[in-house]
Chains A and B, each alone.
Chain A
Amino acid sequence: MVQHEQKGRGLALTLQWKRCVVHKKTVLAAAPVMIGALALSSCSSSKSKPASAGGGGNKPSYTIGFQGPLTGPNAQLGINIDNAVKLAVAQANAKGDLPFTLKVAEADDQGDPAKGPTAAQQLIGNSNVMGVVGPTFSGATKAAQPLFTQANLASVSASATNSSLTDPANGFKTFFRIVPPDSTQGTAAADYMAKALKAKSVYLIDDKSDYGVGLCGNIKTQLTADGVNVVSDSVAAGTNDYSAAATKVANSGTQAMYYCGYYADAAPLAKALKNTPYTGKTLSGDGSNDPKFISLAGSAGEGWQFTCPCLSAAASTDPTTQQFVKDYTASANQPPGTYSPEGFDVANTLITVMKPLGTNVTRGAVVTGLRSVDFKGLTKQIKFQPNGEVTEKSIFVYQVKNGQITEVGTVDKLIAS
């Protein structure tokens, strides 16, 4: 509270100052000085602190960075991961067997590609940051990754699923991710609709986003290969009125509809669809697999299915995962959301790599370590291919039942049964 007050006083003073200044030339002379002073005062604070100054006695201190949206319209996904990272670091520090103390540094990119590089620079500029969890979104990853590669700083994403990110042509040498790309999910989703749901015709809607277009493209390719009739449409994310799009779905007479986009738009679509006589199956991808979908869509969300490369922590019966749910809920004041377990795994992977390096952790060593890591996480066995993709790639299906997201099973099993 005291802090707020001081800030407020400062603001009031500035306002007063602005009003008093009348002369053009005074400001002319004052402006660069003021900017300079501000810059100097702030760069001193962002300069790296000596490594030994960390809190844990004589142990050196290292930092794990997090980049993703902490504010803005897609903040929830970033917060889910950020909380998990904080939890993993707190647990590692509490165990006491680390040769160093760990800290977390957050860089907020709002999920916006334009803000990606600045956020990345914030982490790169902090010389204590040895590895980064993130970026959360594919677009921001594309924009920020050249900087990470230049700084030789490993960035391990828990959620950026765009297929082209691991394309060697990009030269993203320090990029890793523990979720399979959209192409895997797309193929699995298409097979699920064609073989498990036995749909003869499918209506695809993408949200024009990086993620949505990529996912729907992959689904379409595989559906066509499976001999299914495909109708495609696009509605840009953030559209207010989905009634026209829903009318088109209903008129198409297809047996299934798959929406490639995020929950904020899947929910209004669900509501609009409920107002039409459409009777087919309704599905969406990992971007919509969030409890907020249910709160937003209300009863219209009932029966929707989601394909997701993610593990739903709440639905799991595994004791370690249940422990994670308990710990997470206690530390974050909310239950783990989509990609929380993955974020937890990424942070622990980084810690696993850093631990044997002892007190000589360097950015380069972390990148090298990640290439050979083999670590049993909550969600999967984490092992990377040379291009940074994770080796294990299972896709889960979830369904909304009685206002809860419940696990149906993995796609492979569902097709076999």
Chain B
Amino acid sequence: MCLSQHFWQFLIPGITLGCLYALIAIGYTLVYGVLQLINFAHSEVFMTGGFAGLFLVQALVTTGVTPHGTESVLYVVLGICCGAIFGGIVAFLLERVAYRPLRRRNAPRLIYLITAIGASLFLFNLAGKLFGRDKVNVPELYTNGVVFTVFGAQVRVQQIIIVCTALGMMLMLDAVVNRTKLGAGIRAVAQDSQTASLMGVNINRVISQTFVIGGLLGGAAGFLFGTYLNVHYQMGFLPGIKAFAAAVLGGIGNIRGAMIGGLLLGIVESLSQSCMSSQWIDVVAFVVLILVLMFRPTGILGQRLGRAA
């Protein structure tokens, strides 16, 4: 009953948020696919993207003036690119500095996880030290007007930008993984890294590339998230865990699964708000995660590691 009353008003923000979760979830799922590792520090990649985009935009936009027209488009695109690039750089460095030495000496998985957690703790606190621990507002890049209304729910410019960008990036990723040599490498390592290496795949390079691809998407999501809400040194923590839940929901290691899982989680989270008090919003993702693990640990689409879909 509570669902039907304002269904559309809650669905639209849910889709928006879901797209962001999906972008982050892809990062988890890609790394899990090739390394079987939960990259806890991925949430910091996301955070870095948010800050990088923010600083670029702060430098470009004069305070108090909301740009419009082509200027707006330019700033948004630049912000996304900047976030993505820095996200990619941090992901690359993480792999190089923290994970590769461990891989070289064949460390147990517990060690990987602890390293990942340590790196995450270090990175977000360093960001807090460097850029302050207050939330920061991303300057307005466009007038956030209502574009159209669906069944009484307003759809705004911001939501359209987020959804379109996310969908675009996901389509591109899908094409890259399924159609290019790079994608073939990733799939080969995910299926069987030893055999792949015997077939002449440079595993280290493929793993680096995987981290960078995940970082690009995560960083871009960070900037989009920043424009939608705020930029904050701890902004990665909860979305990170939720995105991981989304990846598990879709079937970890499965890229299309991560997309669907993210979208679904965002929608479930938002719709659940119409039925209960907002104070429980953060529980939803964890309950979903625990339920999935209990009843269908392979996720909706199954853990088809390295398959095309």
- The chain A residues found within 8 Å of chain B, CB to CB, are 72-73, 75-76, 205, 208, 233-236, 238-245, 247-248, 250-251, 264, 267-268, 271, 274-277, 292, 295-299, 403
Contact indicator B229/A268 (Cβ below 8 Å): yes
Contact in complex: A241, B281 (CB < 8 Å)? yes
Which B residues lie within 8 Å of A274 (CB)?
144
Chain A neighbourhood of B269, CB < 8 A? 244
A73→B133 contact, CB < 8 A = yes
Q: Whose C-beta in chain A lies nearest to the C-beta of B133?
A: A73
B293 to chain A, nearest CB (A): 24
**Assembly CA distance A285 to B65 (angstroms):** 29
A240 and B140 within 8 A (CB)? no
Are B137 and A239 in touch, CB under 8 angstroms?
A: no
Once bound together, how far apart are the Cα atoms of A295 and B139, in whole Å? 10
Output the least CB separation between B285 and chain A (Å): 12
- Quick check: A248 and B273 within 8 Å, CB to CB? yes
Structural contact, B134 and A296, CB atoms closer than 8 A = yes
Task: State the 9 A-B residue pairs at the shortest beta-carbon distance, nearest first.
Answer: A244-B273, A243-B13, A234-B279, A245-B278, A235-B278, A296-B137, A247-B9, A298-B137, A251-B6
Question: B279–A235 contact, CB under 8 A?
Answer: yes
> Is A208 touching B279 in the complex (CB atoms < 8 A)?
yes
Closest Cβ neighbor of B154 among chain A residues? A277
Q: Which of A205, A250, A267, A277 contacts B135 (CB 8 A)?
A: A267
Q: Cβ of B144: which chain A residues have Cβ within 8 Å of it? A: 274-275
The minimal Cβ–Cβ distance linking A249 to chain B, given in whole angstroms, is 10
The smallest C-beta distance from B63 to any residue of chain A, in angstroms, reads: 10
Q: How far is the CA of A276 from the CA of B156 in the complex (A)?
A: 9
A145 to B194, CA, bound (A): 63
Q: Which of B10, B17, B229 contacts A271 (CB 8 A)?
A: B229
CA of A238 to CA of B273, assembled, Å: 17
Contact A275 B133 (CB under 8 A): no
Residue pair B136, A247 in contact (C-beta under 8 Å): no
**B277 and A234 contact, CB distance less than 8 A:** yes
Give Cα A34 to B120, complex, Å. Answer: 31
Q: Tell me the bound Cα distance from A271 to B225 in angstroms.
A: 13
| Residues on A with beta carbons closer than 8 Å to the beta carbon of B274 | 244, 248
CB pair A240–B235 under 8 Å, yes or no, is yes
Residues of A close to B135: CB separation below 8 A: 264, 267-268, 296
A60 to chain B, nearest CB (A): 39
Instruction: Determine whether the beta carbon of A239 is less than 8 Å from that of B282.
Output: yes
Give the number of residue pairs across the A-B interface with Cβ within 8 Å: 89
Separation of A146 and B277 alpha carbons in the complex (Å): 35
**Chain B residue with Cβ nearest A236:** B279
List of A residues within 8 angstroms of B66 by Cβ:
299
User: Which of B5, B137, B234 gathers the greatest number of chain A CB atoms within 10 Å?
Assistant: B137
User: B: which residues have CB within 8 A of A?
Assistant: 5-6, 9-10, 13, 16-17, 64, 66, 133-137, 139-140, 144, 154, 156, 158, 229-230, 234-235, 238-239, 269-270, 273-274, 277-279, 281-282
Known A234-B277, A239-B281, A240-B229; contact A275-B156, beta-carbon cutoff 8 A: yes
Look across to chain B and name the residue whose beta carbon is closest to the beta carbon of A238. B234
Query: Cβ of A275: which chain B residues have Cβ within 8 Å of it?
Result: 144, 156, 158
Evaluate whether A298 and B140 lie within 8 angstroms (CB atoms) in the complex, with A245-B273, A268-B135 already known.
Answer: yes
Is A267 a contact partner of B137 (Cβ separation < 8 A)?
A: yes
Provide the residues of chain B in CB contact with A248, threshold 8 Å: 273-274, 278
Residues of B within 8 A of A276 (CB): 154
Q: Which chain A residues border B6 with CB–CB below 8 Å?
A: 247, 251
Please give, as numbers and ranges, the residues of chain A lying within 8 Å of B279 by CB-CB distance. 208, 233-236
Contact A296/B281 with A240-B239, A247-B6 known, Cβ cut-off 8 Å: no
Q: Do residues B133 and A72 form an inter-chain contact, with CB atoms below 8 A? A: yes
On chain B, the residues within 8 Å of A299 by CB distance are 66, 140
Instruction: Report yes or no: A244 in contact with B238, Cβ–Cβ below 8 A.
Output: no
- Expressed in whole angstroms, the Cα–Cα distance for A236 and B135 within the complex equals 16
Q: How long is the Cα–Cα vector from A72 to B13 in the complex, in angstroms?
A: 31
Residues of chain B within 8 A of A244, CB atoms compared: 10, 13, 269-270, 273-274, 278, 281
State whether B230 touches A296 (Cβ < 8 A). yes
**Given A72-B133, A235-B278, A240-B239, CB of A268 within 8 Å of CB of B230:** yes
A207 closest partner in B (C-beta): B279
Contacts of B281 in A (CB 8 A): 235, 239, 241, 244
Smallest beta-carbon distance A163→chain B, Å:
22
Residue of A76, A239, A247 with most partner-chain B CB within 10 A? A247
Q: Cβ of A241 and Cβ of B229 under 8 Å apart?
A: yes
* New A-B pairs, 20, CB < 8 Å, besides A208-B279, A240-B230: A72-B133, A233-B278, A234-B277, A235-B279, A235-B281, A238-B234, A239-B282, A240-B229, A241-B13, A243-B16, A244-B10, A244-B273, A244-B274, A245-B273, A247-B6, A275-B144, A276-B154, A296-B136, A296-B137, A298-B140
**Cα distance A251–B235 in the bound complex, in angstroms:** 28
Chain B nearest Cβ from A44, distance in angstroms: 31
Task: Decide: A241 and B17 in contact? CB cutoff 8 A.
Answer: yes
Give Cα A277 to B145, complex, Å: 11
Residues of chain B contacted by A233 (CB below 8 angstroms): 277-279
B139, B144, B229: residue with the most chain A Cβ atoms closer than 10 Å:
B229
Is A295 within 8 A of B277, CB to CB? no
Provide a sorted-by-A list of 6 A–B residue pairs whose CB atoms are within 8 angstroms. A73-B133, A233-B279, A241-B13, A244-B281, A275-B144, A403-B64
Tell whether A251 pairs with B238 under 8 Å between CB atoms, given A73-B133, A234-B278.
Answer: no
